Structure 1
Amino acid sequence: MRAFRCPHCGYAVAFEQQSCFVCSTEVAFHKPWMEMVLAPADGESTTIDDGAWVRCANWERGCNWLVAAGPETPICFVDGFVRNEPGPDDTEALKELASTLKDLRRLIFQLLDLGLPITPFHQDPKGLAFDLISSESVGHPVTIGHADGVITIDLAESLELYRERQRIILKEPYRTMLGHLRHEVGHYYEMILIAGGELIDQTREFFGDERRDYQAALADYYAGVVPDGWEHDYISHYATAHPWEDWAETFAHYLHITGTLATIADSGLLLSASRVHFDLDADINPRVHYGDGDFATMLHDWEVLSGVLNRVNHAMGKEALYPFRLTLPVVAKLGFVYHVLTTAEQGNKVDAPHRG
């Protein structure tokens, strides 16, 4: 996650912190500035750009975002995307919710940082909504998926043991709550940026014809029907299931890559060609943002830096941070996602069926 500074002492503070570890000053995230500011006291307001700002009403459960003061309950921008959540008496699910909301705030920050259109469901019938439900509480499986702007998340995935068990069963090299959120929001952006619009033909060239029966495709996938040599053409095993899933998996990886590069850049890290113990033509100086026309640079930076990060993880006895191969067909798909998100006109919204 991007680096932030304490507005009082200048020390680094994490995106989720409500107080600085060094000077103990309470801090909060201010969306218009996309920066940390001094937090107002509980029940009071602070003035920023001639406006009054207060703590999010969910400060006690870990939210550190500010919201403009007003007569309504002060729910922050991120919490405004939550349509359904566990009741106040479901203490176990509420613990899972608190962890999940941290990842949701990371997701929403990144979408804002990338300049993507994002409107909550209560402002637009086709806006984005999250139903956050725990299969551990409701007593039956909760299907993670997207349907017409509504993303359903199983809060039990925030539990490491539960998630790791699912990862092993499904033979996945990577499974995180943030990964789920990035994948599902990829379906949402396909709905509003691609479906029924002028980019649909190009999308089919890269990912295949999405008119293929989705439920039948999933049934085949879970029955073990996977293309031979799928690793050459797809970023993940699940991406083979259907063109919608290929798009969503590739979209998620675009967010993985850009989010990690931005974090490295914000932290001031670079690779010096004169100091590394391998051949490197030039220094790698990652950027917070890679604009239109910078895809090749972004890809090169990522290929080198992900190798370094993998070795760092190995030095700690952990698995690779990024256990994926970017083959030429996958690079082409990533390049198309990059093109859509940096240059395509935004705002074409149509109905779309459920996608898992």
Structure 2
Amino acid sequence: MRLFQCQCCGQVLHFENTKCLRCGRNVGYLPERGQMLAVEPEGSVWVIAGDGVPGEGKPSDDRKDDSGAAGDLGDHAAGYRFCANWERSACNWMLPAGEGEAFCLACCHNRTVPDLSDAVNHARWQKIEAAKRRLVYSLLRLGLPLPRPGEGHPEPLVFDFLADAPGASERVLTGHADGVVTISLTEADDATREKMRTDMGEAYRTLLGHFRHEVGHYYWDILVRDGGHLDEFRALFGDDTEDYAAALGRHYANGAPAGWQEGHVSAYATMHAWEDWAETWAHYLHMVDTLETAAAFGLSVEPELDDDGELSAELDFDPHKVRRVRRLLGAWMPLTVALNALNRSMGQSDLYPFVLPPAVLKKLGFVHDLVVQARAAPG
């Protein structure tokens, strides 16, 4: 995730900010332009704060936004509106006022939200929405297709955020089916999620990780199955036609096979070819987002004792636009070593508790190549 800047006072803004902490103006994210803007009300709409005032209305640095124009805030004569979920303190994205849409590019994919009159549901849903916006930010930056419900696409991306029914014996399961990603509200409860992570022997379990994994299943449908890449997929990940229920039962009965670390990014990835893909996809998104964050902070990895350069990396590029996966991987490996060492210094477990053997690197390369192809595809 990149850093942003208030165009009025120069204060650093973070992706989740709703106000500038220096000048106090409301701020919102405009996804079409990849910009965080300070805004002020004007009638029924919001306009860019300080626009037209000498010395204001433009970013104070010369970095280019996603449109390629440094400091260009575009044609905003009609003003902007906040997403309808802004009023529920669950979104800080905006959209042009003239579009007539109630929801932003992230929230328009929501199909079901929980009963928000329940304070616990509301608080957990807010956490889920924050993770979802980070997911959608990455998907937009990567140029991946994001068909919306109602646009005529046979499999639009849809989100259901569901709470367990009171007294019900069956609990909501997080998963994906036919374009619908379901996230259980219990995953937004830190204590419950950590208990599930421990009980299931997982090295990593987060809300954002769930989103990245489940949307991986969606993009398997879009990029692999419908994209004509089944043969290449099967050569790397295995047989996707294997009975899924039988594979699931076998995995939970017997666990991962011996030596799984040589070919899979996680134990769960061994369960079925679909899960191997989804786990690999999630790790690709982990990699891209974390590298962008490192670059935004100007980080570099160059330990003095690293004479052969194995732990050195310059993190000064946009990972969303890299054409060769080798550059991503070359920066990612040293960065994870540094991040894990920092966590250990604080008495925490490794931030990235995974090993990427050569077979997994090839799978990541396959994911990357499909993402690059999707970004270059017309329309």
The alignment's TM-score, normalised by the length of structure 1, stands at 0.91
Q: Deviations over 1:215-271 (max 9, x none)?
A: 111111111242211111110011011000000000000000011001111222223
* Alpha-carbon distance between aligned partners in 2 of 1:229 and 1:7, rounded to the nearest angstrom: 53
Aligned AA for 2:114?
P
Alignment of 1:277-288 (within 5 A): 277-281=305-309, 284-286=313-315, 287-288=317-318
Match of 1:54 among 75, 81, 87: 81
Q: Which position in structure 1 is the counterpart of 2:5? A: 5
* Alpha-carbon distance between aligned partners in 2 of 1:132 and 1:280, rounded to the nearest angstrom: 49
* Alpha-carbon distance between aligned partners in 2 of 1:289 and 1:226, rounded to the nearest angstrom: 32
Aligned AA for 2:174?
I
Aligned AA for 1:200?
L
| Helix, strand or coil at the partner of 1:210 | coil
Match of 1:127 among 135, 156, 178: 156
| Helix, strand or coil at the partner of 1:314 | helix
Match of 1:319 among 333, 349, 365: 349
Work out the number of aligned pairs and report it: 345
Q: Which position in structure 2 is the counterpart of 1:91? A: 119
Deviation at 1:322, TM superposition (A): 0.5
* Alpha-carbon distance between aligned partners in 2 of 1:320 and 1:137, rounded to the nearest angstrom: 36
Q: Which position in structure 2 is the counterpart of 1:45? A: 46
| Helix, strand or coil at the partner of 1:41 | strand
Q: Contact 2:25/2:40 (CA < 8 Å) preserved in 1?
A: no
Cα 1:319/1:253, change in 2 over 3 Å: same
Aligned AA for 1:2?
R
Cα 1:111/1:293, change in 2 over 3 Å: closer
Q: Contact 1:40/1:55 (CA < 8 Å) preserved in 2?
A: no
Q: Contact 1:210/1:243 (CA < 8 Å) preserved in 2?
A: yes
Aligned AA for 2:117?
D
Cα 1:148/1:346, change in 2 over 3 Å: farther
User: Gaps spanning 5+ residues in structure 1: where?
Assistant: 348-356
Deviation at 1:9, TM superposition (A): 1.8
Aligned AA for 2:116?
P
Q: Deviations over 1:169-201 (max 9, x none)?
A: 110111000000000000000001111542110
Alignment of 1:107-126 (within 5 A): 107-123=135-151, 124-126=153-155
Q: Contact 2:142/2:320 (CA < 8 Å) preserved in 1?
A: no
Q: Contact 2:319/2:328 (CA < 8 Å) preserved in 1?
A: no
Q: Which position in structure 1 is the counterpart of 2:189? A: 159
| Helix, strand or coil at the partner of 1:45 | strand
Q: Which position in structure 2 is the counterpart of 1:36? A: 36
* Alpha-carbon distance between aligned partners in 1 of 2:125 and 2:238, rounded to the nearest angstrom: 36
Deviation at 1:3, TM superposition (A): 1.4
Cα 1:73/1:115, change in 2 over 3 Å: closer
Cα 1:201/1:138, change in 2 over 3 Å: farther
Q: Which position in structure 2 is the counterpart of 1:223? A: 253
Deviation at 1:141, TM superposition (A): 0.8
Q: Which position in structure 1 is the counterpart of 2:274? A: 244
* Alpha-carbon distance between aligned partners in 2 of 1:339 and 1:82, rounded to the nearest angstrom: 29
Cα 1:233/1:84, change in 2 over 3 Å: same
Deviation at 1:276, TM superposition (A): 2.9
Match of 2:94 among 60, 66, 86: 66
Q: Deviations over 1:113-161 (max 9, x none)?
A: 1111112223234110000012275743111111110000001101100
* Alpha-carbon distance between aligned partners in 1 of 2:297 and 2:322, rounded to the nearest angstrom: 23
Question: Does residue 195 of structure 1 match 2:222?
Answer: no
Match of 2:372 among 320, 342, 349: 342
Q: Which position in structure 2 is the counterpart of 1:179? A: 209
Cα 1:346/1:150, change in 2 over 3 Å: farther
Q: Deviations over 1:268-321 (max 9, x none)?
A: 2223x4x63333539622222254542112111111111011111111111111
* Alpha-carbon distance between aligned partners in 2 of 1:118 and 1:254, rounded to the nearest angstrom: 18
* Alpha-carbon distance between aligned partners in 2 of 1:184 and 1:67, rounded to the nearest angstrom: 26
Q: Which position in structure 1 is the counterpart of 2:133? A: 105
Aligned AA for 2:163?
S
Aligned AA for 2:157?
L
Q: Which position in structure 2 is the counterpart of 1:354? A: none
* Alpha-carbon distance between aligned partners in 2 of 1:226 and 1:7, rounded to the nearest angstrom: 52
Q: Which position in structure 2 is the counterpart of 1:352? A: none
Larger RCO (alpha carbons 8 Å, 6+ apart) = 1
The alignment's TM-score, normalised by the length of structure 2, stands at 0.86
Query: Identical aligned pairs, as a percentage?
Result: 38
Q: Contact 1:57/1:73 (CA < 8 Å) preserved in 2?
A: no
Q: Contact 1:292/1:339 (CA < 8 Å) preserved in 2?
A: no
